[in-house]
Structure 1
């Protein structure tokens, strides 16, 4: 699949999202601006990218595991969703769950983007549902071991 991308002029020197390995599911998104994310702070970080997704697809924005583990940097609405009809700038909502300020520089890899097909559903009301072995068990009902 080929995506059409528009790049904000001041971000033309920042590499486009790319897969870090041959079998990576997500492409690394890079910051398009400099900022410092203070502990507990949530910020929308611009990427300088605008994309045109085909109908029937979405782009999911996910945290980078290394940033989460080492610095407590995450995406609080993970996965964030970019709909096929959105044409604004891709902005990544980041939160600093760590104890130290976290500097972000234009070009830093800040999140992952996964492009995935979307399944649309219609509803069929019913008085009953098929039975399963689990039924309504949830929130730890299957145990921890």
Structure 2
């Protein structure tokens, strides 16, 4: 039985452009993930972000319309990889940004890291396809090309607390589905 690794999601099995993650060097901890398709990450500055910022700065009350607009603007986009990961029940795959993305391209992972749990593999919603959340803080749109390296993943064991009572639930769907 295999302990941990990557597979191509069945919907993309015949797509030669979808690539499994790889480590670039012998000492690399992270597996480089590649974009499944061309993807445009719009700059947050393209929208009415500046208008909202000005309202907040000048202490004007924001309307429900302003909040809805802000929610549409200031959210990460999910860059698809076409890949899923399998691992042991006491392991996690940590997704991290490439070190060059923020500095050279203004691309950030808004929550700092991504956490892929073992039970995300083959979930009923998306078969466990891994997406990398990104926000483009640069002033121009960034085009991520199919096959381009977009992030990295590191398999790690995790520990539980003494007398842990959590973990009784079952995953019922895909991305962000473990509840509140």
TM-score (normalised: structure 2): 0.63
Provide the residue aligned with 1:122 in structure 2. 162
Contact 2:81 2:131 in 1 (8 A): yes
1:135 alignment partner in structure 2 = none
- 1:53 maps to 2:83: no
Q: Report the equivalent of 1:25.
A: 29
Comparing both structures, which one devotes a greater share of its residues to strand? Answer: 1
Pick closer, same or farther for the CA change 1:11–1:117 going to 2, 3 Å: farther
Determine the C-alpha separation between the residues in 1 that align with 2:77 and 2:6. 26
Instruction: Pick one of 46, 68, 83 that aligns with 2:102.
Output: 68
Q: Secondary structure at the match of 1:113?
A: strand
Distance of aligned partners of 1:43 and 1:10 in 2 relative to their CA distance in 1, 3 Å threshold: farther
Unaligned runs of 5+ in 2: 45-74, 122-127, 165-180
Inter-partner Cα distance in structure 1 for 2:6 and 2:38 = 25
Correspondences of 1:105-116 after superposition (within 5 Å): 105-116=145-156
How far apart in 1 are the matches of 2:94 and 2:86?
A: 14
Q: 1:6 aligns with which of 5, 8, 25?
A: 8
Alpha carbons 2:17, 2:146 under 8 Å: kept: no
Contact 2:8 2:18 (C-alpha < 8 Å) held by counterparts:
no
TM-score (norm 1): 0.77
Q: 2:132 aligns with which of 89, 92, 97?
A: 92
CA RMSD of aligned residues (A): 1.9
Q: Hey, which bits of structure 1, 4+ residues long, moved more than 4 A?
A: none
Aligned length: 124
Q: What does the per-residue CA deviation read over 1:39-95, in whole Å, with 9 as the maximum and x for residues that have no partner?
A: 126200110012211111100111111111101111111211000111211011011
Deviation at 1:2, TM superposition (A): 4.2
CA drift of 1:6 comes to: 3.3
Structure 1 gap segments, 5+ residues each:
125-145
Higher helix share: 2
In structure 2, distance between residues paired with 1:2 and 1:86: 13
